Amino acid sequence: MSRGVSFLARRAGFYALAAWAAITLNFLIPRMMPGDPASVMFARFRGELEPEAIEALRATLGLTDGPLWSQYLTYLSHVLRGDLGTSVAYFPAPVSEVIGVGLLWTVLLAGTALVIAFALGTLLGALAAWWRGGWLDSTAPLVLSLVGAFPYFWLAMVAVYLLGFMMGWFPLRHAYDTGIRAGPTVAFAASVLHHAALPAATLVLASLGGWLLTMRNTMVGVLGEDHVRYARARGLPPRRIFLHYAARNALLPSVTGFGMALGFVLSGALLTEIVFSYPGQGYLLIQSVRAQDFPLMQGIFLTITLAVLGANWLVDAVTLILDPRTRR
Amino acid sequence: MAEAGPLLQVRGLCVSYGAVRAVDGVDLEVFPGEILGLVGESGSGKSTLVGAVLRTLAPPGAITAGQVWFDGQDVLAMEPEPLRAFRWSEVSLVPQSAQSALNPILTVQAQLVGTLCAHGVSARAARARAPELLAQVGLDPSHCRSYPHQLSGGMRQRVVLALALALRPRLVVLDEPTTALDVVVEREILRHLLALQRSLGFAVVFVTHDLPLLQMLASRIGVLYAGQLVEIGPAGVLGSGGLHPYTRGLVGSILPRPGQAGVPRSIPGGPPGPDVVGCPFHPRCPLAEERCHQDRPPLRTRHLGQAVACHVVR
Amino acid sequence: MTGARWYKALWANPKSRVGLVVVVAFALLAVVGPWLVGDPTAFLAVPHQPPSTAHWLGTTGQGQDVLAQTVAGARPTLAVGVLTGLLVVGFGAVTGGAAGFWGGRVDDALSLLINVFLVLPGLPLMVVVAAWLPPGPATMTAVLVLTGWAWNARVLRSQVRSLRERDFVAAAVVSGESGVRILVAEILPNMASLIASAFIGATVYAIGAQVGLEFLGLGDPSAVTWGTNLYWASNDSALLTGAWWTFVPTGVGVALVGFGLVLVNFGIDEITNPRLATPTTGGGDG
């Protein structure tokens, strides 16, 4: 298994490189825009922000005096310490503090929705291929593709309208009732679940089609392979063939794709949060856009990127367990 | 030579892939404990025949006519559950490519145990039996814990042989088992196979395009051409030339061994298209007569276990 | 397959036939539509009116005609979508083609670049870049291409890599043709269906991502596009007032165009890989 460890180490190195690229992008983007970033900012915010706020902003972006490379090193050292600067919209709170709270809610919402959609989608996709020509195979991919063609947040809007506004079954906004105190109580947990149900459901529904289709197509290919036919010839029971010979082999591309789909689904989750005023990263994102709060925007970008990279590395570890050939 | 009736009986079997007839009315018998070789060029229908008998044809292949009887049971009429039990416990298969036949994500042990348990063996007994099965084919039992990609081609072929013998079937079909292997490994595996056949007494159907190999191994040889069985008989008779013009052509085209005299001659022409009328070999046959163009010659039995399908040679 | 045969095949396949009809219908709508409806920006009626004979799809929170907005919004959204699709596939073909064809260090470097861009999450990056640039279709296109090129590059790269091993390419290499010429004249034409499929996929992505960004407020709020329609609907509290007609038509439009394109892609998939087509007869046994 030491080969597996070296595989994981190489992947970790790649993700570190990607993280570095993200940080460097954060550094370079303000400087690549037309005009000198300092004067651009001054022009934008003059009259709106106090001098201390503007100073804090310059410091966050590393716009100190000095050559570019020294600015870069300063910026890098700040980021590596966890100092993402000071927020403009929530001045004088530091960006890391503003983000910190929202991160949990986003992970809760997007994480659960992703896991459910993946599990349900791959299972249904495998069954669709197993029962070829059945209703699952012929109608489900089309229907779910149609549902997935709607923007995630639009589905959220429809859900809020139908089930929240008209039916009153689900709350329209926020993560839990304003009357309840946060804490490890049953009432709190119930309220959280009640508020998370609708956003999570729309996310699952919107992303289900992709998982289903990928798994179904891969499964169709695997079912035609020699080792499956040979397993049938050996008289193995259908359930065993479905699980261990077909589905487990067909799962591999879906798992590999999981990492990439993660970023995509996360984007959808962010926009969905906005519709529900769910206090996660998405909500912070739109606040930061409205207030032109660049430090917060860039802070969110970095945080989300790091989370996605970490999740990708976990997926690599899972692939290692599932596919003995990668351990060689 | 045969004491009891035939173990496997095939009557008038026809298999088509859409509009193409891959197996065209084959009559065949396999007797208990014998080694029957089936020889033919690529596209002669050998593998399709095997797939039809075991009912493992991949779509669009379909059996369009004929019957298959195994020890009195109608194989083609079996319901899924009896078929599943029948498979492997009575008839097993050693496929052409062991690499693609084994599940890449399961260990050898898992695949052996799975096969045994599927046919009523308890899990514990199966786990004990797996290393024995490997030893039987000349593999170190520690390879139970290996994955297929960790084994060499020859080792994988032995695993597949071990799988085929796991339930002590009465008939083992080998579909070009040594095509992808080098000669030394091939000889080793065949040695094990023959030894096991002598001790366990199962019948063997050995499908290949390698006629000289069959001359050494088989007791009877059958010749397939264009989906039809054109001749079948004792290995000695066919090995020295046989009766059917195609068989003679095949034997005559074999490269001589070092030290032997003789120049190989190929059979002129190529395999027939799908719409040939009469005897399928007649366009290339040196003995073809008028009726060969029109009537397909039936497979006429000369002695027990020997038959020829030819108008000219009777 | 030649172009004419492809068109016939796509028309024959039920999925892609429906898709083509839908897409062409919307293309026509985008081109001709704005001349058929009134001025989408005019504040001419009582806000938040439900659909009526005067305004077939009702009015927005600011008294504009929803039908006019929906039809007028199609043009810029689809235009940016198609342009982005073309650019994304273009970049993807160049980088993926170079990486797949030349292999070695070129491949290592390009693959690394592709993989980094693949793994960085799209929306946050788009937000950061778009926030610094002035709003408008040019910015939108640039941002979408920046975050979307990598996926196609990877897909095209692996196809080029496998085609490179084929005999006709080896023959061309031996006969001394230049690498670029081989890539353009021999390899890419053999990937036509894959490139078409990639273009469609990229366009679908571009439309969806564009709408998302504009919903966030990073579009040009004074322009009339599908995305800004949704932005204003949300801003004017469509949900809290129950004014569903302000966001449903645009959403349906986006979904129909996207779904139509996806159907065409399904058709292409089924034509190139017939096993994926849902069987009409049962087959095999056991």
**C243-266 pLDDT, tens per residue?**
888 888 899 999 999 999 999 998
C260 residue type, one letter: G
Q: What are the 10-residue block averages of pLDDT along chain A, 328 residues in total? A: 81 92 87 67 65 72 74 84 78 82 85 90 92 84 85 86 79 74 78 85 87 89 88 90 91 82 82 85 84 84 89 87 77
Assess contact for C81 and C148: CB atoms under 8 A: no
Residue B133 to residue B139: CA distance in whole angstroms: 9
pLDDT over threshold 90, residue C121: no
Q: Predicted confidence band at C114 (pLDDT cuts at 50, 70, 90)?
A: very high
Say how many C-beta atoms besides its own lie within 10 A of residue A10's C-beta: 11
- Say yes or no: B89 contacts chain A, CB-CB below 8 A: yes
Name which of A126, A147, A151, A65 is nearest A252 in CA terms: A126
Decide if A240 and B101 are in contact by the 8 Å CB cutoff.
no
From residue C285, how far is each of B21, B82, C275, C282 by CA, in Å? 18, 14, 17, 9
pLDDT over threshold 80, residue B196: yes
pLDDT for C274: 73
Axis crossing angle, helix A51-60 with helix A37-45, rounded to the nearest 10: 150
Q: Six-digit token pair at A137?
A: 């195979």
Question: Which chains have 3+ CB pairs within 8 A of C?
Answer: A, B
Q: State the smallest CA–CA distance between residue C278 and chain A in angstroms.
A: 6
Alpha helices in chain B (DSSP H): 46-54, 80-89, 98-101, 108-117, 123-136, 153-165, 183-200, 211-217, 235-239, 245-252, 290-294
From residue C214, how far is each of B199, C41, C205, C228 by CA, in Å? 79, 17, 14, 5
State CA C182 to chain mean position distance. Answer: 29
pLDDT over threshold 60, residue C165: yes
pLDDT for A323: 83
pLDDT for A243: 92
Q: Which residue has the higher pLDDT, B145 or B295?
A: B145
CA dihedral over A47, A52, A56, A62, signed as positive or negative? positive
Q: State the smallest CA–CA distance between residue A275 and chain B in angstroms.
A: 44
pLDDT over threshold 60, residue C286: no
Assess contact for C127 and C63: CB atoms under 8 A: no
pLDDT for C277: 64
On whether ipTM exceeds 0.85, the answer is no
Q: Which residue has the higher pLDDT, B32 or A182?
A: B32
- B-C contacts at Cβ under 8 angstroms: 15
Which tens digit of pLDDT belongs to each residue from C49-68?
A: 787 777 777 887 787 888 88
Phi/psi of residue A164, nearest 5 degrees: -100, -55
- Say yes or no: B102 contacts chain A, CB-CB below 8 A: yes
Assess contact for A15 and A323: CB atoms under 8 A: no
Assess contact for B94 and B207: CB atoms under 8 A: no
Compare CB distances from A133 to C230, C240, C282 and report the shortest one's residue. Answer: C282
* List of chain B residues whose C-beta atoms are within 8 Å of the C-beta of residue C283: 59-60, 62
State CA C114 to chain mean position distance. Answer: 20
Q: Predicted confidence band at C280 (pLDDT cuts at 50, 70, 90)?
A: very low
Decide if A249 and B119 are in contact by the 8 Å CB cutoff.
no
Q: Six-digit token pair at A284?
A: 């912070």
Q: Write down the mean pLDDT value for chain B.
A: 85
pLDDT for C207: 94
Q: State the smallest CA–CA distance between residue C215 and chain B in angstroms.
A: 46
pLDDT for B171: 93
* List of chain C residues whose C-beta atoms are within 8 Å of the C-beta of residue B52: none
pLDDT for A153: 86
Which tens digit of pLDDT belongs to each residue from C27-52?
A: 998 988 888 877 777 777 777 778 77
pLDDT over threshold 70, residue B260: no
Percent of chain A scoring above 90 in pLDDT: 12
Q: Write down the mean pLDDT value for chain C.
A: 84
Half-sphere exposure of A262 (CA within 13 A, CB side): 27
- Say yes or no: B56 contacts chain C, CB-CB below 8 A: yes
Residue A175 to residue C122: CA distance in whole angstroms: 25
* List of chain C residues whose C-beta atoms are within 8 Å of the C-beta of residue B56: 286
Percent of chain B scoring above 90 in pLDDT: 21
User: Which residues 243-262 of chain A have a CB within 8 Å of chain B?
Assistant: 244-245, 248-249
Assess contact for C96 and C152: CB atoms under 8 A: yes
Residue B96 to residue B100: CA distance in whole angstroms: 9
pLDDT for A58: 73
Compare CB distances from B118 to A226, A236, A322 and report the shortest one's residue. Answer: A236
3-state secondary structure of B139: coil
Compare CB distances from B56 to A229, A245, A324 and report the shortest one's residue. Answer: A229
- When scoring A222, A234, A243 by the number of chain B Cβ atoms within 10 A, the one with the most, hence best to mutate, is A234
Which tens digit of pLDDT belongs to each residue from B35-66?
A: 999 988 877 888 888 888 888 887 778 888 89
* List of chain B residues whose C-beta atoms are within 8 Å of the C-beta of residue A133: none
Half-sphere exposure of A227 (CA within 13 A, CB side): 24
> CA geometry: angle at B41 spanning B36 and B47, to 5°?
60
3-state secondary structure of B82: helix
Say how many C-beta atoms besides its own lie within 10 A of residue B42's C-beta: 9
Which tens digit of pLDDT belongs to each residue from B199-241?
A: 999 999 999 888 888 888 889 999 988 888 888 888 888 877 7
pLDDT for C66: 84
The DSSP-derived string for B270-291 is ----TT--S-TTGGG-TT--HH
Q: Predicted confidence band at B258 (pLDDT cuts at 50, 70, 90)?
A: low
Decide if A226 and B95 are in contact by the 8 Å CB cutoff.
yes
SS (H, E, C) C103-154: CHHHHHHHHHHHHHHHHCCHHHHHHHHHHHCCCCHHHHHHHHHHHHHHHHHH
Decide if A240 and B118 are in contact by the 8 Å CB cutoff.
yes
- Say yes or no: C116 contacts chain A, CB-CB below 8 A: yes
Q: Cα-Cα-Cα-Cα dihedral of A121, A123, A124, A127, to 10°?
A: 150
Assess contact for C93 and C195: CB atoms under 8 A: yes
> CA geometry: angle at C21 spanning C17 and C24, to 5°?
135
Say how many C-beta atoms besides its own lie within 10 A of residue A276's C-beta: 29
Compare CB distances from C284 to B59, B83, B84 and report the shortest one's residue. Answer: B59
* List of chain C residues whose C-beta atoms are within 8 Å of the C-beta of residue B61: 284
Residues 6+ apart with CB under 8 A from A278: A105, A109, A173, A174, A175, A195, A199, A272
Axis crossing angle, helix A2-32 with helix A294-322, rounded to the nearest 10: 160
- Say yes or no: C278 contacts chain A, CB-CB below 8 A: yes
3-state secondary structure of B302: strand
pLDDT over threshold 90, residue B306: no
- Say yes or no: B12 contacts chain C, CB-CB below 8 A: no
3-state secondary structure of A312: helix
Q: State the smallest CA–CA distance between residue C275 and chain A in angstroms.
A: 8
Q: Which residue has the higher pLDDT, B275 or B109?
A: B109
- For the entire predicted model, the pTM comes to 0.80
pLDDT for B25: 86
For strand B8-17 and strand B20-30, is the pairing parallel, antiparallel, or unpaired? antiparallel
Decide if A308 and C120 are in contact by the 8 Å CB cutoff.
yes
Assess contact for C223 and C76: CB atoms under 8 A: yes
State CA B109 to chain mean position distance. Answer: 26
